[in-house]
Amino acid sequence: MNTSFLDYYSIQPVTSWIHEALCSVMPEALAIFIECVVIGVVIVALYAVLAIILIYMERKVCAAFQCRIGPNRVGGKGGLLQVPADVLKILTKEIIRLKNSDHLLYDLAPYLVILASILSFSCLPWNKGAHILDMNIGILFVLAASSIGVVGILLAGWASNNKYTMIGAVRSGAMIISYELSLGIIVLSMVVLSETASISGIVESQANGWNLFKGHAIAILAFVVYLIAGNAEANRGPFDLAEAEQELTAGYHTEYSGLHFGFFYLAEYLNLFITAGFASTLFLGGWMPLHVAGLDGFNAVMDYIPGVVWFFGKTFFVVWLLMWIKWTFIRLRIDQVLVFEWKYLMPTSLLILILMVVLKVFGLVF
């Protein structure tokens, strides 16, 4: 692997230089505080921009699958300003609080959902040296942080004091808690293959081959299981039973309006990006370029492409796959969803983990 080009595209020298420059004119504690504030602003800004891109992308992908045009009025024929117009409309709408709701928990729920999403979002490995949160158990931290979101959904359903919101919240809780098990087991199988739970370590372990190829057919099956469980975790079709407009009007966020509804809407789309981002990290090498053994010239050309381009390219490819799944399969019943997890997906995940351990112990991976 040509590490010189990867080092060239690393932003770590830039961040180190900025830190040293700040420390030269102010106390280190103040410099760290300023850096944290700037990083927080960047995270929130990137979070909002990606949400707008994903909403527009979903509308166009959905239109393509249904042989429609999609947004084509606001912002020209492509409808580029339709999503910003919708965002402005949500921001200017009144937040209505129900008389018989639990006001404290009702207001707290959307913030818990957005907090879980931002914590997970902050762990994505954007490029070499561009890890906002990175630790030796980073992938386990992501699993723990993402599970906070289901608490917000349950609180939203219960605090709204509405039978539709309560049914949606119970469905979501049962489904997310169930599919978290399969998702966690698949993540552990990739930890076994990579021999580290550090997110940056998982990416760097794929320098000589992506996990999707190193783990033979077992890794490919693990990737399929991850996509299914990740779709359920993100409350997306055909697992969108918590929202189910045809029967629950809007599910757990039926009684929310204005910015509070916007938080739920925002988190749903960013959870899609987070699921795809960690799929590319665990299976497709993250920001690592594509290398083929023996093709040194091809590998050298691939090294010229910056890591951030690789990461976004792989992530949006997985996003497209997840959208394809949503707009292809019909919504399942809640009993079908739970039976599928406990009778089929869970045993399959355990089998994948066992086989991955066997492959690793006997040195059968590429």
- With 80 as the cut, is the pLDDT of residue 7 above it? no
pTM: 0.90
Answer for the pair 274, 233: CB distance below 8 angstroms, yes or no: no
Using CA atoms, how far apart are residues 115 and 239, in angstroms rounded to an integer?
22
Nearest alpha carbon to residue 202 among 269, 91, 253, 277 = 277
Q: How far, CA to CA in Å, does 175 sit from each of 2, 29, 112, 168, 241? A: 44, 44, 18, 11, 9
Residue type, 61: V
Radius of gyration of the chain (CA): 22
Residue 334 CB neighbours (<10 A): 17
Q: What is the pLDDT of residue 291?
A: 78
The reported pLDDT for the residue numbered 177 is 85
Annotate 47-63 with b (16+ C-beta within 10 A) or e (fewer): beebbbebbbbbbbbeb
Lowest mean pLDDT among 126-130, 211-215, 309-313: 126-130
Calculate the alpha carbon distances from 79 to 29, 52, 148 in Å: 46, 12, 35
> What b/e sequence results for 233-263 when a residue is b if at least 16 CB atoms lie within 10 Å of its CB, and e otherwise?
bbbbbbbbbbbbeeebebbbbbbbeeebbbb
Per-residue pLDDT at 168 exceeds 70:
yes
| Contact between residue 324 and residue 285 where contact means Cβ atoms under 8 Å apart | no
- Which pLDDT value is given to residue 254? 83
Please say if the pLDDT value at position 129 is more than 60: yes
pLDDT value, residue 8: 53
Percent of the chain with pLDDT over 70: 97
pLDDT tens track for 233-286:
888 878 887 777 777 777 788 888 888 888 888 888 899 999 999 999 999 988
Which one-letter DSSP state was computed for residue 254? T
At residue 102, the 3 state secondary structure works out as: coil
Task: Give the span between the Cα atoms of 283 and 349, in whole angstroms.
Answer: 15
Q: Report pLDDT for 243.
A: 75
Say what the pLDDT of residue 301 is.
Answer: 84
Q: Please tell me which residue, 188 or 78, carries the higher pLDDT value.
A: 188
**Rounded (5°) CA angle 327-330-331:** 110
Q: How far apart are CA 328 and CA 62, in angstroms?
A: 10
When mean pLDDT is compared across 58-62, 228-232, 298-302, 320-324, the lowest value belongs to: 298-302
C-alpha to C-alpha distance for 283 and 296, rounded to whole angstroms: 22
- pLDDT for 343: 93
Contacts of 128 (CB under 8 A, 6+ apart): 6, 7, 9, 10, 11, 12, 287, 307
Residue 24: pLDDT band by 50, 70, 90 thresholds?
confident
Which tops the pLDDT comparison, 340 or 293? 340
Indicate if the pLDDT at residue 148 is higher than 70.
yes
For 84-120, how does the pLDDT look when each residue is reduced to its tens digit (9 = 90+)?
Answer: 898 888 888 888 877 788 888 888 999 999 999 999 9
Q: State the chain's mean pLDDT as an integer.
A: 87
Determine the distance from the C-alpha atom of residue 223 to the mean position of all C-alpha atoms in its chain, rounded to a whole number: 15
Task: Give per-residue pLDDT as tens, 190-249.
Answer: 999 999 999 989 998 888 888 998 888 999 999 999 999 999 888 887 888 777 777 777
Residue 51 has pLDDT above 80, yes or no: yes
